[in-house]
Structure formats: structure tokens, C-alpha cells
Structure 1
Amino acid sequence: MQPGWNLGNTLDSTGSDETSWGNPRVTRELLRSIRAQGFNSVRIPVTWSQHQGAAPSYTIEAAYLARVKEVVDWAVAEGLYVLVNVHHDSWQWVMNLPTQHDAVLARYTATWTQIANTFRGSSDRVLFESINEPYFEGSSGDAQNAQLLHELNSAFHGIVRRSGGNNATRVLVLPTLRTNADQARLDELTSTFTALNDPNLVATVHFYGFWPFSVNVAGYTRFDAETQRDLTDTFDRVYNTFTARGIPVILGEYGLLGFDRHTGVIEQGEKLKFFEFLGNYARSRQLTTMLWDNGQHFNRTTLQWNDPALFRQIRSSWTTASSTAATDQVFVRRGQTPAAATIALNLNGNTLSSVHHGSTQLVRGTDYTVSGDRLTLAGPTLARLTASQRYGVNAVLSARFSRGVPWELNVIVHDPPTPRAASGTTNGLTVPTAFNGDQLATMEAVYPDGTFAGPHNWTSYKEFGAAFSPNYTSGDITLPSAFFAEVRDNSTVTLTFHFWSGTTVRYTLTRTGSTVTGAPA
């Protein structure tokens, strides 16, 4: 099944049909294209509740069951393994199990009975997952949560196995509570595996990275040692608890939580390092990975990747450790003679073969030098590459290694950004900003006494895309109502904008009632 892909925000839609979250109807051509990209499996999340009748039968619409089966059959015909589940039902009605036990269990039983009967004769390439990201409201705590999830997973197992046909031995996938990989959650699921004593069971967890990095908050703008350690610790726990004991594990969803807003929440190079490391470490821990894609990665209309560089990095990680670098940005101040720039390389056991600018190979020893894991670009070379003095990326260099994908270095001409005075309301403030080739990394917000202003008041560094958003096309930085909802009335707030060049710019906000003004500090 490795590697896998999620057909997200489609059959799991909570609207009237599979297009209600903005994706087109699934076609066989889409699934054929996914197979052609190198994927061996597809997870098909399905939300059933809006297509179900009332108690006691909870009958699923025949047309909807047939549509789900049609998509599954297409995927199997294209050579893919398929994982089908009960998805957003988890927070629509299954979470009420503590307070509406009998009704929820009856509906869950009816749901899986109908799914199992529909797919009883399907290929053994079709797997079932009991429930997506399960949790329970109104429970007494961890012990009851564990007992309830054990009950659900056990009920699911019994329903499918008793339905006969290929379901008697079909591979079944069981999640931890919230598909969380904390050791206590893993141990709870281990108890269920022991009790069921079935060799055709697989464990599943989800992974969206170290949370502050994953959403770009608290100053975690880089894929640093702490972010890396969070990943290795998680995958090690999963490996030691399950894989090393002969129980396969599917990473049913992985990505970055900031992608829920847009994929630019995390800087491109940092993003690439995360996915490169994740793919390689998952491979070392024998985990099957299934990329979460709600339509933002593989364009389901054009059948092309929205970010080809990201997919190249992901695809390479399935088989190869690619080299990366401390940054993918080399900044040159406009109007100044550039000094040599040294970039630390993470060689990953490889060697640097060459550096190219387009089709031109740079001259080693003249245009650049290499010493150990340090690549130095010569000042005259940077001057030549930035001769246009145009703000922004003037050249893209490709560092090529003995294996894996090249690492791209963007040579950027910049000046200090200049935000201007602005006025607005607590519904939102737009700060006109001349970015001058630079890009915003993060933003701090503090009151005059040094305490932290705005959301996440445990840190001065606010959440990218939630508390502030740059727009490089329109030339502004927006502070939304969500930011001002947690700013005191009749207060002054000092913002510090941190840019990727290393430049910092201070800006003063004044809130009086619903009126907000801002000016460079």
C-alpha cells in the first residue's frame, strides 16, 4: 500500500453531495492519474450521516452506497488498494456514545452492517477503517474513553467478520483515540488488538507535525531540532508499540495543519525539509503513509500538482534520502555589492555534484566553493545573478547531489519593507506595505508593559494566517477581527514584523473602542 493518498473533501463532504466542498465529482481518470503518480493506495473518507434514514433501520440511500462502490471499484481496477471508512460521522453523532449509548451503537451497527454487505464480495484490496479520529463528549475521562473505543472497534470487527464472504478475512484498520500517537493511546489500542486476536488487523494514527511549527505560531518558523524530534519520537513510539511486534501501521493522514488555511503558511524550504524528513523516517520505521489532500495538492480538474516541487520532494522520500539546506533563500541588498553567501547543507549521506542556473552549470572554485557541508556562493556570482536589481527572486539555482532531488536556492534582491499608516476597525485592519522583495516570516504583538497581546497570549509570536496575513500581490498585511477580539480596549500594541531576510520592522497599533489606527514605530 505504500505510498498512499487521501481523496479528501469529497465523499466525506457533509453537504448534499461530493462536490459541496468545492471539488469536482470523482472520475476514473483521476484515480488513474493518482496511480500514475506512483501511489499504490487511496484512502476514501466517507461521511454517511446525511445519506441515512431514521431509526431503527438507519437505511443508507441506495444511490449513495452505489456511488461509493463505483468509486472504490474504479480505484481497484486501476491497481490501487482502497481504504474505506466512516468519517465525519465521528463528530456528527458517534461522539455522543457516552450519553446516548444504545442509540449510537445501534446506528453504528446499522451503518457498518450495510457497508459490509455492500462490499462483501469486493477484492481483498479493499480495507475498512472503523471510524475517523474518534472522540467522545460527556465521558468521565480517559478510562471510559478507552472502554468506549474498544467497544466500537470490537463491534466493527464482529459486524464485518460475521458478514462473511471476503469480509471474513478482510484487512481491518483500527484507530487510537483521536488517532493520537501518545503512548497511553497506543497502549489502549494494543489491548484491543490482544483481545481480538486477529492477524488481519492494522493500527492507524494521524500526524500533522509539531503543532507550533505546523501552524506557524510561537516563532516556530523553521523545521528545527525540536520539530524534528517531535516527529522521530512519535514514529518511534508507533514502531515500538506496533510495527516491531508484527502489527502494521498506516499513517492514515499526514501533512501540516497550517495547510487548512493555505499552503503558504509554512515557508517553502522549511515545508520541503519537513516532508523530506517525514517520508524518510516513516520508511525507516516501516510506516505506510497516506498524504492528506483535500484538493489543495493534486488539482482534480487539471490533474496536475499545484506545487510540483513539493510533490517531487515527497515522491523522492519514498525511496531516497535527498539533500536539503539550512535555507532556500539567499538575500542580496539592492544597490549594494553582495558579499559571499555561505549555506549549510544537510547532505544526508550524499555529495554535491554541481550547481546550475537554468541550463548553465556554475563553475566550481570560481562561482562557488564547497567545504564539508558548507556551500559558499561567490560575491561576484551573486552580483551577476542580480544585475537587474529587480525586487524579489532574480535567479533560481539548482544544487544537484549524487542522489535525490535537487535543492533550489532563490537569489532575492530586497530592501527593508516599509509598512505605512492605516486606519480601520476591530473588524479588521489592512496595513499597506511595500515588501521590497522580502517576505513575512512571523509577527510579534506586545503591550507597553511587555505582556503579550492578541490570540495565543502565552506567546508574543502570533499565528500566521490566523492573526495576520501578508498579501504580496496587493501589497498589504491584514490583521483580522480574530486578532482584535483579544486586544484590550484603549490600548497600544507594538507589532514587530519579522522578515525572512532577517529584517525586523516595528509598527504601533492604537485601539479605542472599535476604532483602530496604526503607524510605523
Structure 2
Amino acid sequence: MGAVSAQAAQGCSVDYWVQSQWPGGFTADVTVHNLGDPIDGWDVEWVWPEGQSVTHGWNADFTTTAERVNAKNLSYNRTIATGASVSFGFNGSWAGVNREPFEFRLNGRVCDGTVGEPTTTPTTPPPAGGDSAMEQVAAMQPSWNVGNTLDALGGETAWGNPLITEALLARVKSQGFNSIRLPVTWDEYMGPGPDHTVDPARMERVAQVVDWALEQDLQVLLNVHHDSWMWIDDLPADHDAVLAKFEALWTQIADRFKDYPPELSFESNNEPQFAGTEAAEGDALNEELNLAFHEIVRGSGGNNGDRLLVLPTLHTNGDQARLDALKATIDGLDDPMIAATIHFYGFWPFSVNIAGFTRYNAEVEADLVGTFQRAHDTFVDNGIPVIVGEWAVLNYDHNRPGVHQPGELLKFFEAVTHHARENGLTLSLWDAGQFLNRNTLQWRDQHMYEYFASETRSGTTSFDSVYLPGDGAIAPSSLTLNRNGLQFEGLWHGDEPLAEGADYTVSGDTLTFTAAALTRLAGDRDHGVNAQLEARFSDGVPWRITIITSDTPVLSDATGPTSSFAIPTRFNGDTLATMEARYADGTNAGPATWTPFQEFWSNFRPDYDAGALILTPEFLASVTDGQPVTLTFHFYSGATVSYTITESGGTVTGTA
């Protein structure tokens, strides 16, 4: 687009600020600083990278053509003196993700902070891969793993997921993801040495999925996955044979995909590990494989000469020693198209619910902040992009309900995405079917997905539930607001706002529900959920607060075999948080001898429909025959219930 008025010297910079955002909409301000000669008449132009659009604007005349937007001056703000600025704003719509425009132009010149002759090259979107490793990895955010599929042992559907389809990948793209990580396990499809030929049908199936993803404008990160523990981990004991197989595999992958566009990248191998080694030896072996991978791909011709290559730390661990070892490898390569990768499943006790870590507390937060800060300081701050190639929490699965308290899990997800943005890390969600139902192509928990999709902070409270007794007077109840830099805007029950003063009060960060409001919301006070509220903040996903009526759960005596022992339980509207196990002398009982709080699901689990608390055979096998064990069940209402079991000769006797 040509200049509206000719200037001998043009230059500008732009401040773009999303004031607020909500599902499907946002408000943004734009300030343009004129660095060149005075302007009489201006036209600011940009291209939306994700198809956003302006719905209503002010202080400018807006026109939109396809993905291109032009904001032109009005009569009262047509002039911009040298060093002066002009501002305008708008409401917009978005779907999936809401990225900033990749560049702005003032009267045709790119606003990059420099001053010079007018730019006449038309504005066009950048290539999906970007021009550098940092740009390409940034363009991959957010990313999604096609987990437990092409990496499954026994065939693509052996671990419970359907075949990957074009429809699945189209759905992933429509949900705002810009890339997929494609885990592939190759061992079952490789012939004997010395050639270790990959079955052509397998290679073509992988290529078909890559093609489908690229057609959906998804970048693809292709890797060598469970081979890491199936045979690569034997490198110390059978060095030459394992290395030859690794090199043969990557030679074939590199050759098959050498002519693919830069939107396809390669990852050396998944979670590298080496049997019988200490950390320092493992770092050296990991470097050896990463260097072999790099040499093979770079020397294979085609587009592989400058394709993005992704190198893992040992175990894809984020500890400083592991990061330093990989940083030394990357520095030695002196290759600008290299990225580092780690995995992150959170603070382990919280991630599996053991040792009493049922809440997203300061310790869980510190582990997250420390890991991402180390990755940033070691790599990103030195021009090396980082992909968190897998992230989620361990033991979360739709087939294992209750391991994590829903609100505490959402706090973790919200914090991970925030701290990743703060540290410039690209996140790839590990999804083995627990998040996106691949049969229906619907999210198993739409509200949870909204936290994955949000690109801003969301407010929360100290807990997501208010528990009320089943009878007697209801007292006021308070929660602490975690504003996360946002403004608290009120409470809603469905479409109806609650009245501040009559229904709730806010003093500092203390949100208090009045007795009258809780009594009304509790209704008939049936056990379980009585009402669900929304706490709305100035940005992000509304926070849900559940009003629950419960009484102390009641456990009954029981006798049964260790193979299937269950405690009859009336939960009375309450929800199980964790279980302690101790012998009479106070020592810990159960597989986790270092803590009395045993691991949820693998050692104990609730069955709310059946009215039972189940003690698993694994837990019962670990207790000493004939010695009574006191179990203390902790519930999220704050209630605790004790129960005694004695295992003897394969039979368990339980006493309330």
C-alpha cells in the first residue's frame, strides 16, 4: 500500500496492548509513535495471524479485507508531529488463540523503530515456521501431543486410542493449537542389523499423518519415542550395536522427510535414559546420541540442512545440571536452528497426590517457577528456544477420577501457562486421550480446556468449594481472592449477579458469603452440590465456586480378601482428599514408608457410585501380617474419619 502523504523520512514504533479478554472477544489499544517527519494523514495497517477481526473501534476509521485491517485517521487526529503519538482502540473477536499482529505499518512503512525511506513491500503474514529457531518455536505455541497412538506398543490402537484421522487434526487446529508433537515408537517395525530397515508401510503411515497435519497448517515435531527405554537405554552395555541401530533409524527418517518444508522438525529421542549409569555418564551418552542425530540429519540433504532440530536433556529433566550439560552440547554445535526440550509434570507429590499434597501450595508453585526460570536463564536468555515437549500432571486421567481436586488442578494449569508465557517457553500438552476424546472430538472437560486456551492470567480463590452442614444454622463463609493482577468484578449464579453487601462482601482479598445467601443457595440442603457460582475477574476464565452440603462420612465394618477389599461408606456429599496409614507404634504403613499419606488411586480410591472406599491389593500386600493399621481418611470438607484394618492370611478385617 502506498503512502497517504509522501515523507522524505519515515519511521514509527507501536505499542499494542490487550486491555481485557474473554472467550471469543477482547479489547485492545494501539499507540503509534511517529519517529520520522511530520505526518498529515495516516493509515495504520496490520495482518491478523489467527484470523481475528475488529467488531467495533474508536478514534479511527476501520476497514477489514480478509485478514488485513486498516485503521485510518479521523478529521480531528490526522496530523502526527515528529516525536508525537496517536492512539486508537477497538473491540475484536477471536477463536482458538488471540496472538498479536506480527507487524504494524504506518503509511506503508514497517513500524520497527527505525527511520528511513518508505517501505513499499505489501504486508503479508510470515511463514508458519518463522525465520529463526526462536521464531519457529514461538510459532509452535501452543502445541499438542498425539500421545499413546503411533508410540503405542502393539499397534496404533493398542493403547485405547483410535487411528489418527484428518478430522482429529482439523479439530486440534480449530481449538487453537499451532503444532503437534508426533511421538513414534519404531522398534517393532525395524528389521535386523546391519540395515535395521523400517517397514515401508510404517514409514508411509507416519508420513501420511505428517502430511495431514501440515495441510491443517500445523507444525509437526516428529521424534523417536519409547525406543528410549526399549533398546536405546542399553547403550552403555552394548554401545556399538545400539549406536548403529540409532544411526540407521535416523538415516532413514531423515532421508524420507528431507524434502519436507521447515514446518516439520525432528526431536532426537524421548526422555533419554541409560541403564546402570550415574548422571554424569548419562549426560555424556545423551550428548553422543544428540551429536550423532545432528550429524546424520544435517548431512542428509534436501531441507534438512537448516531444519529445526530439537535436543533433549538427560531424562528431559529440568534440573540445572542437566540443562548445563545440554547447553554445552548446543554451544559446541554452533548451529542456529537448534532448540532444547524438557518435560514438566509438576511437583511430583502433587502430581500423583502422595504425602498429603492435595493443594496447589507454595511448594508446588516454587517447583514450577524454578524449573521454568532455569530453562529461560540457561537457554532462552542465550538465544536458544525451549519446547516443554510434554506437560500435564501425572495420574490425571478420566479413568482415574478424584486423584486431583478440580480447582487445585485448574490453578496448576493456569500457573503453568502463565509462567511459560513469562519465560518464553512453548508448551506441548501431553494428551493420551485424557483431555480430548478422540472418538467424539470433544473435550472431556470443556472448562478445563478454557484454561489451556487462555492467553492471559485468570483469577482464583483459596478453594473452589464452600461446604455447608446438612442441618442447623448456616454461618457466613470466607475465601481468599487470588487476583493474579486482575480486578475482581463480582459473583454470578447463572445469569444472575449476586448482590454485593446482601449476598457477599469483599474486604481486601477476603471474599465472604453472607449466611442469607448461602442459605438461599443451599436450597433443600441435599447432600452434594447445591449451586455453582462464577467469580468473574477483569480478564481470563471465570472461576467456579461450588456450594456443597455434606456431613461427616460414615464407614462400616467389613471383612474380605486382600484381592478385593472395600469399606462400605456413606460419603454424605463429601469428597475424599487423601489417606494416612500408621501402625500402632506410629510408624508408617503402606508402600510409601517415607510418608504416612499414601498415593491416591494406586493404594486407595473411592467408588462414590458403589458407596465404597477401596484398598488396593498393592497397599494390602505391603502391610505387616497380623499388625493393626489405623487409616485416617481426609475429606475436602475438613472432616477426618479413622478406621482400623488387620490383614492376616489373605483376609482383611476392618473396624470403624
- Return 328-337 or 172-181, whichever deviates more: 328-337
Question: Deviation per CA, 1:116-173, whole angstroms, max 9, x where unpaired?
Answer: 011111110001000000010133x233212211110000001001101111100000
Which residue identity lines up with residue 177 of structure 1 in the other structure? L
Q: Which residue of 2 aligns with 1:12?
A: 151
Query: Structure 2 matches for 1:231-380, cutoff 5 A?
Result: 231-259=368-396, 262=400, 264-316=402-454, 319-380=455-516
- Return 211-220 or 256-265, whichever deviates more: 256-265
The answer on 1:195 being equivalent to 2:332 is yes
The answer on 1:2 being equivalent to 2:141 is yes
- The alpha carbon displacement at 1:503 in A equals 0.4
Question: Which of the pair has more CA radius of gyration?
Answer: 2
- The alpha carbon displacement at 1:263 in A equals 5.3
| RMSD, aligned α-carbons | 1.0
Secondary structure of 2:388's partner? strand
The answer on 1:159 being equivalent to 2:296 is yes
Query: Structure 2 matches for 1:159-238, cutoff 5 A?
Result: 159-238=296-375
Q: Which residue of 1 aligns with 2:264?
A: 126
Aligned-partner Cα distance in 2 for 1:263–1:190: 40
Give unmatched runs, 5+ long, in structure 2.
Answer: 1-139
Conserved? CA contact 1:434–1:475, under 8 Å: yes
Aligned-partner Cα distance in 1 for 2:547–2:319: 41
The answer on 1:110 being equivalent to 2:248 is yes
Q: Which residue of 1 aligns with 2:214?
A: 76
Aligned-partner Cα distance in 2 for 1:371–1:44: 49
Secondary structure of 2:255's partner? helix
Which residue identity lines up with residue 303 of structure 1 in the other structure? L
User: Could you tell me the percent identity over the aligned residues?
Assistant: 52
The answer on 1:413 being equivalent to 2:549 is yes
Secondary structure of 1:46's partner? coil
Aligned-partner Cα distance in 2 for 1:243–1:428: 51
Q: Which residue of 2 aligns with 1:482?
A: 618
Question: Deviation per CA, 1:1-55, whole angstroms, max 9, x where unpaired?
Answer: 111110000000111x211111011111110110111111100000000011111
Give unmatched runs, 5+ long, in structure 1.
Answer: none
- The alpha carbon displacement at 1:515 in A equals 1.3
Is the alpha carbon distance of 1:172 and 1:121 closer, same or farther for their aligned partners in structure 2, counting shifts above 3 Å?
Answer: same
Conserved? CA contact 1:344–1:374, under 8 Å: yes
Which residue identity lines up with residue 270 of structure 1 in the other structure? E
Bigger helix fraction: 1
Q: Which residue of 1 aligns with 2:519?
A: 383
Higher relative contact order (CA 8 A, sep 6+): 1
- The alpha carbon displacement at 1:426 in A equals 2.2
Secondary structure of 1:390's partner? coil
Query: Structure 2 matches for 1:466-481, cutoff 5 A?
Result: 466-481=602-617
Structure 2 length normalisation: TM-score?
Answer: 0.78
Conserved? CA contact 1:428–1:484, under 8 Å: no
Aligned-partner Cα distance in 2 for 1:293–1:279: 16
- The alpha carbon displacement at 1:428 in A equals 3.4
Question: Deviation per CA, 1:173-231, whole angstroms, max 9, x where unpaired?
Answer: 00000000111111110111011110100000000000111100000110000110011
Secondary structure of 1:265's partner? coil
Aligned-partner Cα distance in 1 for 2:174–2:624: 54
The answer on 1:395 being equivalent to 2:531 is yes
Question: Deviation per CA, 1:49-91, whole angstroms, max 9, x where unpaired?
Answer: 0011111111111111001011011111101111000000000
Number of aligned positions between the proteins: 516
Aligned-partner Cα distance in 2 for 1:479–1:272: 28
The answer on 1:444 being equivalent to 2:591 is no
Aligned-partner Cα distance in 2 for 1:518–1:275: 38
Which residue identity lines up with residue 158 of structure 2 in the other structure? S
Secondary structure of 1:293's partner? coil
Q: Which residue of 2 aligns with 1:503?
A: 639
